[in-house]
């Protein structure tokens, strides 16, 4: 039976790179995959998944009302689908994660989801919370804090590089907007935990 995998980490741990490598492995063996990217990220990336080391692949954009189960069911009628791969899975809704689980359970297609576990305030994203609850496998991809400890938290920076603790949960940005830290340094910088 197919499984749901959740690869999670902070930013800069290689999630997109790992996704693109897995996709390549399937394609190299003549197997068809479907790649997905939430619209919030797809819009600024020309509907492509980008890794920081330069790898890219086209992906289907996913809106908040997108139905994974219906889409994959229709695609499977055209050709066998061997795996679905989802980048930025933290931005999915609870219902969408349940649809992904249904794909694995009923259509027997593995799902590999990649995303950030918590936001800049240390709170779980909706998609990540549901994946932590329902995924068959939880795989942490690791990166490090400036002190050398494992980084598990993300802070948001303003335009002057100062730590921000208020604002909308979702704000797309890169290294100029976010930085990763261990829990100790996150607490010292934000006073949130």
Decide if 127 contacts 91 (C-beta within 8 A). yes
The size of the chain, in residues, is 193
Least confident of 11-15, 58-62, 130-134, 144-148: 11-15
Q: What is the CA radius of gyration of the chain?
A: 17
Question: What pLDDT sits at residue 52?
Answer: 83
Q: Which tens digits make up the pLDDT trace of 19-62?
A: 999 999 999 999 999 999 999 876 777 889 988 888 889 999 99
Backbone dihedral angles phi then psi of residue 109, each to the nearest 5 degrees: -115, 125
Give the pLDDT mean for 110-117. Answer: 97
Catalytic residue among 28, 39, 75, 88: 88
Structure tokens at 83: 């795996």
Q: Please say if 75 is a catalytic residue.
A: no
Q: Which tens digits make up the pLDDT trace of 75-92?
A: 999 999 999 999 999 999
Structure tokens at 110: 């593995």
d(CA 142, CA 170): 22
Q: pLDDT class for 174, splitting at 50, 70, 90?
A: low
Collapse the DSSP code of 5 into the 3-class scheme (helix H, G, I; strand E, B; otherwise coil) and give the result: strand
3-state helix, strand, coil in the chain (%, to 5): 35, 25, 40
Helices (H), the chain: 15-28, 39-42, 68-78, 94-106, 126-134, 183-190
Average model confidence (pLDDT) for the chain? 93
Decide if 35 contacts 45 (C-beta within 8 A). no
């Amino acid at each position: 039976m197919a499984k749901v995998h959740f690869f999670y980490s902070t930013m800069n741990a290689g999630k997109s790179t790992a996704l693109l490598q897995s996709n390549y492995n399937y394609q190299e063996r003549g197997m068809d995959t479907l790649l997905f990217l939430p619209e919030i990220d797809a819009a600024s990336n020309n509907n492509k998944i980008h890794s920081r080391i330069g790898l890219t692949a086209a992906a289907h954009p996913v809106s908040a009302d997108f139905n994974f189960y219906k889409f994959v069911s229709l695609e499977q009628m055209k050709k066998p689908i061997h795996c679905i791969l989802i980048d930025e899975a933290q931005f999915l809704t609870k219902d969408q994660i349940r649809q992904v689980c249904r794909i694995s359970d009923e259509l027997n297609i593995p799902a590999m989801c990649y995303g950030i576990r918590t936001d800049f305030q240390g709170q779980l994203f909706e998609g990540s919370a549901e994946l932590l609850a329902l995924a068959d496998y939880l795989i942490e991809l690791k990166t490090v804090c400036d002190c050398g400890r494992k980084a598990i938290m993300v802070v948001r920076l303003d335009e002057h590089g100062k730590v921000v603790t208020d604002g909308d949960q979702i704000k797309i940005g890169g290294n100029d907007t976010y930085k990763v830290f261990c829990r100790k340094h996150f607490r010292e910088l934000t006073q949130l935990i």
